[in-house]
C-alpha cells in the first residue's frame, strides 16, 4: 500500500481525539498498511505506549506531534492584535535525534510557552528542527490560515520560513475532509507546491476511528467544552470525514493528485526510529570523597545494623546482611538504596513522620539497617528474595509512606539535591469509565438528570465494569436499551467513548530522578501549578524508557499519629513509637472488642467483626488480620479463627510444613510461606521459589507444569512421595493465587498496632488528631464525635480563648477546632491565635472586636464564630452579639482611624487599644432557642456540637429502632431507624411523579435514603418537616471493591415515615401520666375529656402523689387511649412534659 496516515489524534489529544491506540494499530494492520503516525495536540502522552504496541504488532510507529506555534515570542502571554494565539504545525521524528528534538520542543512548549495551549515559537523551531519532518497541518496551520484570509504574501512568507528551517523536510499538507474552507485552500496549496517545488502529502487529520463515530466525537467535544449537543454556540467540526479512512478511500479522494498519496510513503520511509528499552538510567548518588557506591552502602549498612542491634550482632543477622549486600552490588543497585535511604534520613532528621515500611521492601535486612524500614525481617520471618530476586533481574521497588502534610518537603529536598531539571513527578490518566461516561453523554444529549441517574445506577459498582458487561449482568439495563431508542443511543455513544482518557493528573506518589542528563533528554514534560516538572509519560512508559521511579506516598495515618504525639508533647509527655511494647493487653482488648474506628487498616465494619471473633493476642495475629481481610483469602477467615480457638483441628500434610505454617494454624496465608515450602520441601533456592510463586500467582500453565515437575522431583529427593508432593504443590498453587505479601502485611500491621495503642491509651488525643485530619469528611466527623460521647468525652464548643485551627484536648474534653468552621480560613485563625498569645485572652466580645484586624477577620468570619458558640464563655448570648456586631465593627474601625490619624508615638497606639470609650453596650435580649443554635452549628460545621436534636430521644430510639447507621451493615432486610433528614432533593420520575432523595443522620453517622413516589406522596408532610423522624425501610446493598477491603454500599428504600413522637406512639403499649400534687379539678376534667376523645389500644396508668406515697392507678380497659400527636400535645399542656412516659 502506498498510503500512510501521517496525521492522527489518539485518545491522548484529551477530549478531542477519540482513537484508542489498540484500535489504531488493529485497523491500520487490517488495511494492510505497514506504518502509521500519531500526532497528538501539543503533547506526547501516548508515544511510548504506541511505539511499544505497534512494534510488537509488526507495524512501524511514527512518533509525532501537532504542535502549536506562537505568532510571536512564545513567552509573551498577551494576544497580538490581528493574529491568532497560535498556529498548528505537524512534526514527525525521523530518528533518535528527531525524537530527542521533538521531546525538547514539546517540553519547552509546556514549560515556557504555555498560553491557553503549549506553544513553541520560530526561534526554538530553528534550534531544534534537526531530524524532524514538518507538515503544514490543517486549516489552523499558518499557511492555510493566511490563504483563507486572502493574504498570499503572508502565506508565502510562512512557507519561506518553514522551507528555510526544515529544508527538504517540509511538506505542504492537503486534506479531503468535506469542509468548504478546505476545498478553497487545497488548490492554492497545490499551486504553491508546484511554484516553490515543495512536496505535497495527503492526510485526513483523523480524530475518530470510523465515520459512524462522528456523532460520538461531537459528544466528546461537548464534554470538553461543557456544552450540550443542542447548544448553538458549541464547538463543532461540521464534517463526518475526520476518521481513519482506508487507503483506497484516500487514493480515490486524491486521484487528481496521486503524488500527495505516494509522498506519504516516502515520508514514512524517511522515518526510522528506534527507542532503546530495558536499559536503566540510574540517578547519580553523590558519594563522599572518592568512595564507590559499593563501599558506601557496605559501610552505612554495617553501621546501621550495629545501631539497631548493638555491637554483639548475632551471626544470623551479619551473614544475611552480607548476602543481601552481595546481591544488591551484583545487580547494580547500591545507588538506588542509598538514594532512598538519603531522603528517608532527611525526613526523619527534620521531624517528618515516615512509615515503618511498605510492600516487599520490609523483607530486606539492608533496608532495615539503612533506616529505610523499621521492621526486623528476621524476627518476623520476612524474605529478601520476595523483594529482590537475583534469579530475575528487575528494579527494586521501595515505596515509602510519609506524613501527608509534609511529603512535599521531601520531594522538594530531592529536587534541590539532584537539580530542578533532573527530578519530576509522573503523570497519570483518568479514563472515562462506564458509569461516568453514561452520565457525561446523558448530560450532553440533554437527557434529564433523574433519567440518566437511573440508567447509571443500573451499572454494577465494580471499578473494572464495562458497559457491555453491565448489559450482560443487568437485565433491567438491557431492557431499557432494547425498548427505549434514547437510552440505546446514549449507551451506543457511551460505548464509543468508554475507556478514553479524560484528563491528565499527577501520580499519587511517583517521582522520577534522571541520570547525569536532564529529564528532557529522556521524556517530554509539563509543569504543575507549583512549578514542578511532570513527565508526560505514565509510570509504565517511564519504566520502559529506563528511568528510575521512586514512590513517595502521603499517608494520612502517619499525620494522625504525629498530631497525637504533638498533643502529648505539648503537655510534657513524650512517647517513642519505635519502642512500643508489642504485647500490650489494652491494645489487644481494644482490637478484640472491635473498637477500631480510626485505627489504620482495622476500621471497616467487616474487619471489626473479624477482630471480635479472632480476639488477637499477639502481633502475628494482627499481621494475619491485615493479610486475610481482602477478597479471596476472606474465605479462610472462619477456619483460621476456629483453629486459633481450638474449635478446628490443625493438620499438616507433612511434618516439614509445621515450622512454616504453625504461625498461621496450618493455613497458607502468605506468599512467603509458598516460597519457604518450595525451599524446605523441594530444595529450591529462595530466588527460584519466588519465580514459582510468581508463576502460580499468574497461573501460567506451561510454566506451572514445568515447576510441578521440578517440585515433585525435588521433594522426592527429600523422601516425600510423588502423590503427596503433587498434592502439596496443588495446595500451594491454590493459595498462591491470593496469598498476601507478608512483608507488606507486617509493616502495615505495625502502623495498625501503633494507632490502636494510641487509641487505647490516649483516646482524647487520638480522637482530636483524627477529627483535625478529617475536617472535610462529614460522616467521619459525626462518627468520631458520637464515639467520644458514648465514651463520656465531652465535645466542647469552639472557644475564642482556647481553640486553635485544629481540635485540641483540655481537662474538660475535646475542644472543637476553628478550622472546622465554614468561612473561617487559616489566615484568620492564625491572626486570632497570635493576638491571643501576644496580649492575653480576650476579655469580652468588645475587646475581641477592637483587638483584631477586621480586614483579615471580617464580618462573615465573626458571624460564623458567634453562631458556633466561640464567644459563649465571655459573652454567652449569641443573638445579642449578632444584633450589635455591625455597630461594634463600625465604631472600632472609626476609632482606630481617628486614633491612628492623631497619634504621635507608639505609646498612643497602645493607649488606643485599651480605650473603653469606643465600646458599644451589648443589648439584653432573649437568646436563640437550643434548636436554633444547633441548626446554626450544623450549618457551619456539618455537625451538631453542643448537643444533638436526637439526644433527648435516645431512650425512645432504643425502644423503637432496630438499628443505627453504625450497625446498619449487619442489619438484614427491613429495618427501623431514626434520624434527621439532610439535603432533601425532590425529582420527577419519567411518569411525572415526585420522588425524593436525602441523607438520614443519626447520632452515629449518615446513610442515603430514597423515597419513591408512593412513599413520598403518603408521608410528604413528615418528610418535608425538619423534625426528627423514624423510617421503616428496606436495606439495599451493592458490592464495591474498596481496594484492600470489600464493603457493602448501603442505601435505604423508605416504606413508612413517622415523626419520632408518632412512631413512639405506635410502639407504645402503655402510657403513664404523673399527676402533679396540686393539680386543679378543672385540669382533671380536661384530662378526662381528652381521654374520652382519644380512645385507642394503649393502657393508661395514672400516678397520684399522696401525703404518704405515690399510688399508681390502672385507668381500666374503658379508658385505653391512642397516644396520637394531638393527645400528647394536650396532655403536656395539662400536666407538663415531665409527667409523661410511654412504655
Q: Are 176 and 118 in contact (CB under 8 A)?
A: no
How confident is the model at residue 596, as a pLDDT?
Answer: 94
CA distances from 475 to 450, 456, 460, 480, 487 (A): 20, 14, 12, 9, 14
- Per-residue cell: 523: 521524556
In the chain, the percentage of residues whose pLDDT exceeds 70 is 95
Write a three-state SS string for 348-410.
HHCCCCECCCCHHHHHCHHHHHCCCCCCCCCCCCCCCCCCCCCCCCCCCCCEEEEECCCHHHH
Q: CA angle at residue 627 from 624 to 633, to 5 degrees?
A: 105
Confidence of residue 855 (pLDDT cuts 50, 70, 90): confident
What is the per-residue pLDDT across 707-739, written as a single tens digit (0 to 9) for each?
889 999 999 999 999 999 999 998 888 887 778
Segment 304-311 mean pLDDT: 93
**Three-state SS at 109:** helix
- CB atoms near residue 541 (< 10 Å): 24
Contacts of 355 (CB under 8 A, 6+ apart): 400, 401, 402, 555, 558, 747, 751
pLDDT for residue 912 is more than 70: no
Least confident span in 536-545, 897-906, 954-963: 897-906
How confident is the model at residue 103, as a pLDDT?
Answer: 97
Which one has a higher pLDDT value, 414 or 850? 414
Residue 680 to residue 657: CA distance in whole angstroms: 8
Q: Can you name the residues that pair with 1008 across neighbouring β-strands?
A: 999
How confident is the model at residue 192, as a pLDDT?
Answer: 95
**Three-state SS at 1009:** strand
Q: What is the DSSP string of 835-872?
A: HHHHH-S--SHHHHHHHS-TTTS-HHHHHHHHHTTTTT
What is the per-residue pLDDT across 22-67, written as a single tens digit (0 to 9) for each?
999 999 999 999 999 999 999 999 999 999 999 999 999 999 999 9
Q: Which CATH number fits domain 293-428+506-557: 3.40.50.2000, 3.30.1900.20, 3.90.1150.10, 3.40.50.720?
A: 3.30.1900.20
Q: Are 95 and 75 in contact (CB under 8 A)?
A: no
Least confident span in 305-314, 719-728, 1044-1053: 1044-1053
How confident is the model at residue 764, as a pLDDT?
Answer: 95
User: Could you tell me which of 631, 460, 462, 611 has the C-alpha nearest to residue 1045?
Assistant: 631
Residue 1063 to residue 1059: CA distance in whole angstroms: 6
- Per-residue cell: 554: 502521603
Segment 356-363 mean pLDDT: 92
- CB atoms near residue 319 (< 10 Å): 12
What is the per-residue pLDDT across 235-279, written as a single tens digit (0 to 9) for each?
778 898 999 999 999 999 999 999 999 999 999 999 999 999 888
**Three-state SS at 630:** coil
Which one has a higher pLDDT value, 60 or 1131? 60
- Per-residue cell: 278: 530495558
pLDDT for residue 20 is more than 50: yes
* Terminal alpha carbon distance of the chain: 89
- Per-residue cell: 166: 526544515
Q: Are 978 and 1029 in contact (CB under 8 A)?
A: yes
Q: Are 137 and 89 in contact (CB under 8 A)?
A: yes
CA 766 to chain centre: 23
Q: Are 766 and 564 in contact (CB under 8 A)?
A: yes
Contacts of 258 (CB under 8 A, 6+ apart): 251
What is the per-residue pLDDT across 381-399, written as a single tens digit (0 to 9) for each?
999 998 988 888 788 889 9
How confident is the model at residue 1061, as a pLDDT?
Answer: 74
Residue 486 to residue 489: CA distance in whole angstroms: 5
Q: CA angle at residue 769 from 765 to 775, to 5 degrees?
A: 140
pLDDT for residue 907 is more than 70: no
How confident is the model at residue 772, as a pLDDT?
Answer: 93
What is the per-residue pLDDT across 89-131, written as a single tens digit (0 to 9) for each?
999 999 999 999 999 999 999 999 999 999 999 999 999 999 9
How confident is the model at residue 911, as a pLDDT?
Answer: 47
How confident is the model at residue 897, as a pLDDT?
Answer: 66
**What element of type H or E holds 336?**
helix 334-349
How confident is the model at residue 472, as a pLDDT?
Answer: 86
Least confident span in 207-211, 573-577, 911-915: 911-915
User: Could you tell me which of 613, 537, 604, 645 has the C-alpha nearest to residue 780?
Assistant: 604
Confidence of residue 901 (pLDDT cuts 50, 70, 90): low
What is the per-residue pLDDT across 218-238, written as a single tens digit (0 to 9) for each?
888 888 888 888 888 787 788
Task: Give domain 21-209+244-270's CATH superfamily.
Answer: Metal-dependent hydrolases (3.20.20.140)
pLDDT for residue 972 is more than 70: no
Q: Are 800 and 870 in contact (CB under 8 A)?
A: yes
How confident is the model at residue 126, as a pLDDT?
Answer: 96
Report which DSSP code applies to 435. Answer: H
How confident is the model at residue 606, as a pLDDT?
Answer: 86
Segment 356-362 mean pLDDT: 92
What is the per-residue pLDDT across 597-633, written as a single tens digit (0 to 9) for each?
999 999 888 899 899 999 999 999 999 999 999 887 8
pLDDT for residue 909 is more than 50: no
Q: What is the pTM of this model?
A: 0.83
Confidence of residue 1086 (pLDDT cuts 50, 70, 90): confident
Residue 346 to residue 32: CA distance in whole angstroms: 57
How confident is the model at residue 270, as a pLDDT?
Answer: 96
CA 694 to chain centre: 29
CA distances from 671 to 728, 739, 745, 995 (A): 15, 5, 11, 51
> Per-domain residue ranges for the chain?
21-209+244-270, 293-428+506-557, 558-756, 806-941, 951-1065, 1068-1142
Whole-number average pLDDT of the chain: 89
Task: Decide if 21-209+244-270 and 293-428+506-557 have a common fold.
Answer: no
Which one has a higher pLDDT value, 444 or 735? 444
- CB atoms near residue 733 (< 10 Å): 19
| CA dihedral sign of residues 1133, 1136, 1137, 1143 | negative
pLDDT for residue 1042 is more than 60: no
Confidence of residue 1043 (pLDDT cuts 50, 70, 90): very low
| Burial annotation 493-503 (CB, 10 A radius, 16+ → b, else e) | bbbbbbbbbbe
How confident is the model at residue 919, as a pLDDT?
Answer: 60
pLDDT for residue 1125 is more than 80: no
Decide: residue 950, CB within 10 A, 0-12 exposed, 13-18 middle, 19+ buried: buried
Residue 951 to residue 949: CA distance in whole angstroms: 6
What is the per-residue pLDDT across 497-512, written as a single tens digit (0 to 9) for each?
988 888 888 888 899 9
Decide: residue 1092, CB within 10 A, 0-12 exposed, 13-18 middle, 19+ buried: exposed
The fold of the 951-1065 domain, in CATH, is OB fold (Dihydrolipoamide Acetyltransferase, E2P) (2.40.50)
What is the per-residue pLDDT across 938-967, written as a single tens digit (0 to 9) for each?
999 988 888 888 888 887 888 788 888 888
How confident is the model at residue 1047, as a pLDDT?
Answer: 45
CA 390 to chain centre: 35
To the nearest 10 degrees (0 to 180), the angle between helices 152-166 and 180-196 is: 60
Confidence of residue 913 (pLDDT cuts 50, 70, 90): very low
How confident is the model at residue 389, as a pLDDT?
Answer: 87
Position of cell 449482568?
473
Amino acid at each position: 500500500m502506498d498510503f500512510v496516515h501521517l496525521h492522527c489524534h489518539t485518545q491522548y489529544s484529551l477530549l478531542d481525539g477519540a482513537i484508542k491506540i489498540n484500535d489504531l494499530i488493529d485497523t491500520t494492520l487490517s488495511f494492510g498498511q505497514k506504518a502509521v503516525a500519531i500526532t497528538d495536540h501539543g503533547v506526547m502522552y501516548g508515544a511510548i505506549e504506541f511505539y511499544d504496541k505497534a512494534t510488537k504488532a509488526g507495524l512501524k510507529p511514527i512518533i509525532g506531534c501537532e504542535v502549536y506555534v506562537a505568532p510571536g515570542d512564545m513567552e509573551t502571554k498577551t494576544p497580538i492584535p490581528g493574529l491568532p494565539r497560535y498556529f498548528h504545525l505537524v512534526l514527525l521524528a525521523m530518528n533518535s535525534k528527531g525524537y530527542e528534538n521533538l521531546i525538547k520542543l514539546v517540553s519547552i512548549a509546556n514549560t515556557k510557552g504555555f498560553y491557553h495551549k503549549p506553544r513553541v515559537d520560530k526561534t526554538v523551531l530553528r534550534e531544534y528542527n534537526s531530524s524532524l519532518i514538518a507538515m503544514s497541518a490543517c486549516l489552523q496551520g499558518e499557511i492555510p490560515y493566511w490563504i483563507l484570509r486572502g493574504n498570499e504574501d503572508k502565506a508565502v512568507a510562512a512557507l519561506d520560513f518553514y522551507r528555510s528551517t526544515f529544508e527538504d523536510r517540509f511538506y505542504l499538507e492537503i486534506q479531503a475532509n468535506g469542509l468548504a474552507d478546505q476545498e478553497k485552500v487545497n488548490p492554492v496549496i497545490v499551486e504553491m507546491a508546484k511554484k516553490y517545488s515543495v512536496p505535497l502529502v495527503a492526510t485526513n487529520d483523523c480524530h475518530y476511528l470510523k465515520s459512524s463515530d462522528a456523532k460520538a466525537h461531537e459528544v466528546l467535544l461537548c464534554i470538553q467544552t461543557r456544552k450540550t449537543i443542542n447548544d448553538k454556540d458549541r464547538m463543532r467540526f461540521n464534517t463526518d470525514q475526520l476518521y481513519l479512512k482506508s487507503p483506497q478511500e484516500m487514493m480515490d479522494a486524491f486521484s487528481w493528485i496521486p503524488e500527495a498519496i505516494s509522498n506519504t510513503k516516502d515520508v514514512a520511509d524517511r522515518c526510522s526510529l528506534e527507542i532503546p528499552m530495558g536499559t536503566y538510567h540510574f540517578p547519580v548518588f553523590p558519594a563522599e570523597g572518592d568512595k564507590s557506591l559499593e563501599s558506601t552502602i557496605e559501610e552505612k549498612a554495617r553501621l546501621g545494623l550495629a545501631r539497631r542491634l548493638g555491637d554483639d550482632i548475632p551471626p544470623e543477622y551479619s551473614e544475611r546482611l552480607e548476602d543481601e549486600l552481595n546481591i544488591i552490588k551484583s545487580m547494580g543497585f547500591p545507588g538506588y538504596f542509598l538514594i532512598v535511604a538519603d531522603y528517608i534520613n532527611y525526613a526523619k532528621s527534620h521531624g517528618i513522620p515516615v512509615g515503618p515500611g511498605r510492600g516487599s521492601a520490609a523483607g530486606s535486612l539492608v533496608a532495615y539497617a539503612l533506616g529505610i524500614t523499621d521492621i526486623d525481617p528476621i524476627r518476623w520471618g520476612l524474605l529478601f528474595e520476595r523483594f529482590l530476586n537475583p534469579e530475575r533481574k528487575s528494579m527494586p521497588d521501595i515505596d515509602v509512606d510519609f506524613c501527608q502534610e509534609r511529603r512535599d518537603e521531601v520531594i522538594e529536598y530531592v529536587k534541590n539535591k539532584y537539580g530542578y531539571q533532573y527530578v519530576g513527578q509522573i503523570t497519570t490518566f483518568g479514563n472515562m469509565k462506564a458509569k461516568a461516561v453514561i452520565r457525561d453523554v446523558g448530560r450532553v444529549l440533554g437527557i434529564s438528570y433523574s433519567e440518566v441517574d437511573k440508567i447509571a445506577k443500573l451499572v454494577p459498582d465494580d471499578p473494572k465494569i464495562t458497559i457491555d458487561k453491565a448489559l450482560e449482568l443487568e437485565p433491567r439495563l438491557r431492557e431499557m436499551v432494547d425498548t427505549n431508542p434514547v437510552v440505546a443511543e446514549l449507551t451506543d455513544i457511551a460505548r464509543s467513548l468508554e475507556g478514553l482518557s479524560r484528563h491528565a493528573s499527577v501520580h499519587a506518589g511517583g517521582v522520577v530522578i534522571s541520570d547525569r542528563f536532564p529529564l528532557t533528554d529522556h521524556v517530554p514534560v509539563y509543569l504543575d501549578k507549583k512549578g514542578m516538572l511532570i513527565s508526560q509519560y505514565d509510570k509504565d512508559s517511564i519504566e520502559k524508557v529506563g528511568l528510575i521511579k521512586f514512590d513517595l506516598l502521603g499517608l494520612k495515618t502517619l499525620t494522625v499519629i504525629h498530631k497525637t504525639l504533638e498533643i502529648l508533647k505539648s503537655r510534657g509527655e513524650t512517647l517513642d513509637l519505635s519502642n512500643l511494647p508489642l504485647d500490650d493487653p489494652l491494645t489487644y482488648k481494644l482490637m478484640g472488642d472491635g473498637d477500631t474506628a480510626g485505627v489504620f487498616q482495622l476500621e471497616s465494619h467487616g474487619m471489626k467483626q473479624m477482630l471480635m471473633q479472632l480476639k488477637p493476642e499477639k502481633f502475628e495475629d494482627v499481621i494475619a488480620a491485615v493479610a486475610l481481610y481482602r477478597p479471596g483469602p476472606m474465605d479462610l477467615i472462619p477456619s483460621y479463627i476456629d483453629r486459633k480457638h481450638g474449635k478446628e483441628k490443625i493438620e499438616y500434610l507433612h511434618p516439614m510444613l509445621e515450622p512454616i505454617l504453625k504461625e498461621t494454624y496450618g493455613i497458607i496465608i502468605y506468599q512467603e510461606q509458598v516460597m519457604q515450602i518450595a525451599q524446605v520441601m523441594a530444595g529450591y533456592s529462595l530466588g527460584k521459589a519466588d519465580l514459582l510463586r510468581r508463576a502460580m500467582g499468574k497461573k501460567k500453565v506451561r510454566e506451572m507444569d514445568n515447576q510441578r515437575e521440578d517440585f515433585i522431583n525435588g521433594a522426592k529427593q527429600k523422601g516425600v512421595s510423588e502423590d503427596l508432593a503433587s498434592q502439596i504443590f496443588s495446595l500451594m498453587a491454590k493459595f498462591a493465587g491470593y496469598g498476601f505479601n507478608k512483608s507488606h502485611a507486617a509493616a502495615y500491621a505495625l502502623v495498625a498496632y501503633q494507632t490502636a495503642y494510641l487509641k487505647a491509651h490516649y483516646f482524647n488525643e487520638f480522637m482530636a488528631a483524627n477529627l483535625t485530619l478529617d475536617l472535610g469528611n462529614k460522616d467521619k466527623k459525626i462518627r468520631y464525635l458520637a464515639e467520644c460521647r458514648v465514651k463520656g468525652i465531652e465535645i466542647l464548643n469552639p472557644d475564642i480563648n482556647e481553640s486553635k485551627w485544629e481540635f485540641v484536648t483540655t481537662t474538660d474534653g475535646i475542644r472543637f477546632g476553628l478550622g472546622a468552621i465554614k468561612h473561617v480560613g487559616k489566615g484568620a485563625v492564625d491572626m486570632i491565635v497570635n493576638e491571643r498569645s501576644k496580649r492575653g485572652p480576650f476579655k469580652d466580645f468588645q475587646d475581641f472586636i477592637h483587638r483584631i484586624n477586621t480586614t483579615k477577620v471580617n464580618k462573615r468570619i465573626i458571624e460564623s464564630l458567634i453562631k458556633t458558640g466561640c464567644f459563649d464563655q465571655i459573652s454567652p448570648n449569641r443573638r445579642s452579639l449578632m444584633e450589635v456586631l455591625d455597630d461594634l465593627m463600625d465604631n472600632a474601625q472609626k476609632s482606630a482611624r481617628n486614633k491612628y490619624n492623631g497619634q504621635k508615638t507608639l505609646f498612643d497606639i497602645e493607649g488606643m487599644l485599651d480605650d473603653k470609650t469606643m465600646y458599644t453596650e451589648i443589648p439584653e435580649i432573649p437568646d436563640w432557642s437550643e434548636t436554633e443554635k444547633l441548626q446554626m452549628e450544623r450549618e457551619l460545621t456539618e455537625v451538631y456540637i453542643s448537643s444533638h436534636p436526637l439526644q433527648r430521644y435516645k431512650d425512645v430510639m432504643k425502644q423503637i429502632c432496630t438499628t443505627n447507621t453504625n450497625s446498619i451493615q449487619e442489619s438484614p432486610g427491613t429495618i427501623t431507624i431514626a434520624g434527621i433528614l439532610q439535603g432533601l432533593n425532590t425529582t420527577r420520575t419519567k411518569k411525572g411523579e415526585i420522588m425524593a432523595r436525602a441523607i438520614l443522620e443519626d447520632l452515629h453517622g449518615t446513610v442515603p435514603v430514597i423515597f419513591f413516589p408512593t412513599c413520598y406522596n403518603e408521608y410528604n408532610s413528615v418528610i418535608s418537616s425538619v423534625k426528627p423522624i423514624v423510617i421503616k425501610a428496606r436495606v439495599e446493598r451493592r458490592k464495591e471493591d474498596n481496594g484492600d477491603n470489600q464493603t457493602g454500599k448501603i442505601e435505604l428504600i423508605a416504606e413508612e415515615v413517622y415523626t419520632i413522637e408518632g412512631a413512639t406512639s405506635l410502639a407504645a403499649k402503655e402510657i403513664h401520666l404523673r399527676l402533679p400534687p396540686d393539680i386543679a379539678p378543672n385540669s382533671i376534667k380536661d384530662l378526662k375529656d381528652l381521654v374520652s376523645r382519644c380512645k385507642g389500644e394503649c393502657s393508661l396508668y395514672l400516678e397520684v402523689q399522696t401525703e404518704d406515697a405515690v399510688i399508681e392507678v390502672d385507668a381500666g380497659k374503658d379508658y385505653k387511649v391512642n397516644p396520637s400527636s394531638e393527645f400528647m400535645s394536650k396532655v403536656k399542656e395539662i400536666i407538663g412534659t415531665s409527667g409523661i412516659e410511654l412504655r
